[in-house]
Amino acid sequence: MDQQQKIMIGIDLGGTSIKFGLISSKGAILRKNKRKTPISKDFHETVEVITEEVHRILEQEGLRISHLVGIGIGIPGVANEKGEVVFANNLFWKNKPLQRILEEQLGTRVKVGNDASLAGFGEFHFGAMKNTRNALLLTLGTGLGAGVIINGNVFHGSHYLGTEIGHMVIGENFYNCNCGNNGCLETFASATALVKYATHLMDAGETSSLKTVHGKKEKSLTTQQIFAAARNNDKIAIKALDRFTHYLAIGIANLINIFDPEVIALGGGLSESGDLFLEDLRVVVKTHTYVKEQNPTKIVIADLKNDAGILGSGMFVLKD
């Protein structure tokens, strides 16, 4: 390896799995490992899994902890400037001193941030947001997460509570968000939203191949089935996709009006079917931006897929 390269471990901590990557400052992924998140979600048990796997990676590569610049961790929730997990819903954690505990146990620098924010940092360094100063990543999955890069830095907000773009209220909806509000963007533009709306239409009596083949039960319906039905011109699937695209466009137009980013990249599982909605999305966005005569912000599909989190978390270690 080039001696000028620095090496870090990036960790993407999720509710079901923990992804680890030994990465270089030039974007090379030297090793990737994966562990299941403890079913208990217990903080100390999870810390034990993380420390075990860090040591395993170093042993596999013939390295010592002193060879690392440090370790970055993206968590599914809010982390403050001290690396404390203020709140992580999927892990059932509140006020957990993750950074301090890991630094004590591993003897190296540790930095903690929001997972979507750090995935955005990965795209900024090595993916679809490379060579920009101001850009956003939207992760379209079960919910809608976001990573905001301002002047080349991860933007957290004054109290590390910012960039919850999925909870920007953009209208009234027929169901409430898990956060307790009604009308959050992620209740219109996410995998959950697509399934709920398609099911809502079928419950109202509209005919669909989805209803015939898969039944009306929401749990039996997937976004993959909705996308496949849309490709076959199923009316309910197309209605659901059009609604998803319309509200996602409104959310993106708001972001363009506020941030004027160079690029907005779309990641997460739904982005893999971007050929079905990206062009329509760009058209609708233009109708809602403040300056309609021009639309310089590029809306693209993210590049790094599942590697964005480990790359961004690793690079986050290098930030002061």
pLDDT tens digits, one per residue of 113-133: 999 999 999 999 999 999 999
81 and 152 co-located in one domain: no
Q: Is the same domain home to 203 and 190?
A: yes
What whole-number distance in Å separates Cα of residue 284 and Cα of residue 213? 32
**CB of 118 closer than 8 Å to CB of 311:** no
Report the percent of the chain where pLDDT is more than 70: 97
pLDDT digits (tens, 9 = 90+) for 199-212: 999 999 888 889 76
Predicted pLDDT of residue 124? 98
- Tens of pLDDT, residue by residue over 148-184, are 999 999 999 888 888 999 999 999 999 999 889 999 9
Judgement on whether residues 115 and 145 belong to the same structural domain of the protein: no
The pLDDT, as a whole number, for residue 231 is 97
State residue 183's pLDDT score: 98
**Would you say residue 275 has pLDDT above 90?**
yes
Lowest mean pLDDT among 126-135, 186-195, 214-223, 272-281: 214-223
If asked whether residues 102 and 138 sit together in one domain, one would say no
pLDDT computed for residue 227 by the predictor: 97
pLDDT at 219: 57
Are 26 and 52 members of one domain?
A: yes
Per-residue model confidence (pLDDT) at position 312: 98
CB of 88 closer than 8 Å to CB of 145: no
Of 236, 229, 311, which Cα lies nearest the Cα of 273? 229
Please tell me whether residues 140 and 97 are part of one structural domain. no
Assess whether 141 and 250 both reside in one domain.
yes
Q: How many angstroms separate the CA atoms of 108 and 102, rounded?
A: 8
Given this model, what pLDDT does residue 3 score? 52
Looking at the structure of the chain, the number of domains it has is 2
CATH number at residue 225: 3.30.420.40
* Helical spans, DSSP H, in the chain: 43-61, 98-106, 115-126, 191-203, 209-214, 223-231, 235-259, 278-288, 308-316
Residues 177 and 263 in one domain: yes
Q: Is the pLDDT of residue 213 over 90?
A: no
34 bridge partner residues: 19
Which percentage of the chain shows pLDDT scores above 90?
Answer: 87
Are residues 111 and 142 located together in one domain of the fold? Answer: no
The reply to whether 203 and 276 lie within a common domain is: yes
Structural domain span for residue 86:
7-123+307-316
Residues 214, 148, single domain; the answer is yes
Which pLDDT tens digit goes with each residue over 48-62?
A: 999 999 999 999 999
Please state, in angstroms and rounded to a whole number, the distance separating the CA atoms of residues 74 and 139: 14
